[in-house]
Amino acid sequence: MRILSTLLFITFFAAAAIAQAPLPSNCGLSYEEGLELREQMFRNRNLISQSTITALQQQRFTIYIPVVIHLVGNSSGQGFAQPQGVVSMMCRLNNDFANQNLQFYIKDSIRYVRDDSIFADAYDSIAIDRMIALKDTTALNIFTNSSAGGGVAGYYSRRGDYVFMLNPYASGSSTTITHEVGHFFTLAHNFFGWEGINARQLYGSSPAPDSVGSDWKRREVEYVARTGSLANCYSSGDGFCDTDADYISEREQCPMPGQTLDPSGAAITPNTRLYMSYFYDACVDSFSAEQKTAIMTSVVNRNWLFFPAPITTALAWSNIAVIQPLDAAIVPKNGIDSIRLEWITQGVGPATAWVIQVERMLFGSPIATVALKIVNGQNYFNLPTATLLNGATYRWSVMPFSNGYHCVGFSPFSQFNIETASGLNIAEVSTVIELTARPNPIQGGTASIFFNLSEPMMTSLRLYAMDGILLLNEPLQYSESGEHTRYLDLSQLASGYYNLQLFTEKGSKTVGLMVH
């Protein structure tokens, strides 16, 4: 009970900490950078004809954009974004841009960057200089990190011309990546001009003024009208007339609560579905037609029409099969530096890389991640034994991906158990003082299992065949230390040798059991 209580306490404490300190959710693009983006969009609009863009939008072939992903951690190799989340982020990005004939592929391989300057604060000017020095100028660069001042979930740096993602948002469940790539392709916020201004709080149900801000930052407010003398949608706001006037610069649910009026007294009704707004992820799912035109115009202006197409063949995790160790095998670690985890790739598709995940288990549930790595160009991973506990159970799985296909999940888990060797460190097995089976050998029937515990605890009694197959896994809760007895019916077992293990979180003991 002590172990379970501790785990429950830790879980509750972690949940409470998350509730008290919510993740940042804002975009770090400043008003000044948004102004530069909008000016670039206006220049592109004048430089490149609408007929050219229309022809590109109506073509049948896909334009492929190379992406270089930089996972940033500290000099000790800690703090990297989860690789499976980053791969899923690429899947999300491609799904969100699919109806524009634009697709993104990973150039070369995902890069791991150990840099304490960036790691300390990816929103700092020194960190920005470091990322500029590291980026590939022929691709869209995406940096991830666990820390960024200013409470930002992500940002596009106009100076550095790269996209940054905070680690928790580098996943397939967030639209932040689509929002930031929209900035990369010259889209300002739908609420451009209202950054840092709470319109509802300042003006309530009164009409907004015709301009906001001060001094050189003063900017014209966009009216609701799209035609007539009041219409100013092409010169104010985000510069598009098919995105409704939007003054909401705070993260907001949909439909939008309350009411805000433009300078003429007309109620604004922002389109809550647009990626470049600040409405919640569950609300947004699209770019407007004029925003799509601006994106394609930016692609043309960057001269990014003719990158070679990657291999985009779909991959299938369902065909992945384990080669070694076999599921539920008992694996020795004594005298071995690493354990080779290997899998069959036939039928999976042209995977070029794999995310491998190894977790330690306790009573059927994962309690710690031992390894979470990207493996490039090979179907095996050497797992260091230094990280593995004697008598513990581990499970592992792999997720295939390629440069051009990123929408695959993990394969089914396979388990293995680390053999309990003789001469274990006393600290590892101190909770199980004794483990005995009687009679042994046994001629079928029922065996008496005697064991002695140094303290009250949750245990698990396990029986393994010699090929590593788990035949029995019986959780046992003991509220007292000392001697205990358990009876096992072995009448259905074939003759042979078996391993009987009493497992606890702090260690285990194993005895051989002969059945005649």
Which position has the higher pLDDT, 258 or 420?
A: 258
Using DSSP's 3-state secondary structure scheme, residue 375 falls into strand
* Same domain flag for 154 and 79: yes
Over the stretch 389-415, which tens digit does the pLDDT of each residue have? Answer: 988 999 999 999 999 999 999 999 999
* Domain termination site, one of 301, 326, 355: 301
Residues 401 and 455 in one domain: no
Average pLDDT over residues 88-95: 98
Task: Say if 99 falls within a structural domain.
Answer: yes
Tell me if 371 is assigned to some domain. yes
Q: How far apart are CA 426 and CA 240, in angstroms?
A: 71
- The CB-side HSE value for 232 (13 A sphere, CA atoms) comes to 14
Does some domain include residue 440?
yes
Is pLDDT above 60 for 8?
no
Cβ 437 vs Cβ 448: under 8 Å: yes
More confident residue, 331 or 496: 331
CATH code assigned at 110: 3.40.390
278 is a domain residue = no
Cα→Cα distances 403→99, 184, 443, Å: 20, 21, 59
Q: Is residue 247 part of a domain?
A: no
Same domain for 18 and 167: yes
* Residue 14: predicted pLDDT: 36
Look at residue 431 in the predicted model and tell me its pLDDT.
59
- Are the beta carbons of 186 and 44 closer than 8 angstroms? yes
Residues 363 and 476 in one domain: no
Q: How many other CB atoms sit within 10 Å of the CB of residue 285?
A: 13
Q: Is residue 47 part of a domain?
A: yes
Average pLDDT over residues 361-389: 92
Residues 344 and 432 in one domain: no
Q: How confident is the model at residue 180 (pLDDT cuts 50, 70, 90)?
A: very high
Q: Which of 107-116, 125-134, 469-478 has the lowest mean pLDDT?
A: 469-478
Instruction: Report the range of poorest mean pLDDT among 242-251, 256-265, 449-458.
Output: 449-458
Same domain, 68 and 124: yes
Q: Would strands 393-401 and 353-362 be described as parallel, antiparallel, or unpaired?
A: antiparallel
Q: Dihedrals φ, ψ of 420, to 5°?
A: -85, 105
Strands 353-362 and 329-331 come out as unpaired
Higher pLDDT, 169 or 22: 169
Instruction: Give buried/exposed letters for 133-168 (b at 16+ CB in 10 A, else e).
Output: ebbeeebbbbbbbbbbeeebbbbbbbebebbbbbbb
Which residue segment(s) compose the domain that 363 sits in? 317-418
Among 379, 394, 418, the domain-final residue is 418
Return d(Cα 186, Cα 291) in angstroms, integer.
9
Instruction: Identify the pLDDT of residue 7.
Output: 34
* pLDDT (average), residues 348-352: 91
pTM confidence score: 0.79
Q: In the numeric block, which tokens belong to residue 61?
A: 């072939």
- Distances in Å between the Cα of 350 and the Cα atoms of 10, 51, 407, 446 are 42, 38, 13, 52
Give the residue carrying structure tokens 């035609």. Answer: 227
In this structure, the answer to whether residues 357 and 497 fall within a common structural domain is: no
Residue ending a domain, among 268, 301, 334, is 301
Q: What is the pLDDT of residues 477-514, one digit of tens each?
A: 877 888 888 888 888 888 877 888 887 766 677 777 88
Q: Are residues 406 and 490 in the same domain?
A: no
The answer to whether residues 296 and 57 touch, using CB atoms and an 8 Å cutoff, is: yes
**401 and 337, same domain (yes or no):** yes
Overall average pLDDT of the 63-76 stretch? 97
Q: Mark whether 379 and 433 lie in a shared domain.
A: no
Q: What is the pLDDT of residues 219-231, one digit of tens each?
A: 999 999 999 999 9
Residue 241 lies in a domain: no
> Residue 321: inside a domain, yes or no?
yes
Give the count of domains, the chain: 3
The DSSP call for residue 74 is -
Average pLDDT on 152-173 reads 96
Is residue 394 located within the same domain as residue 333? yes
The CATH number of whichever domain residue 324 belongs to comes to 2.60.40.10
Same domain, 34 and 126: yes
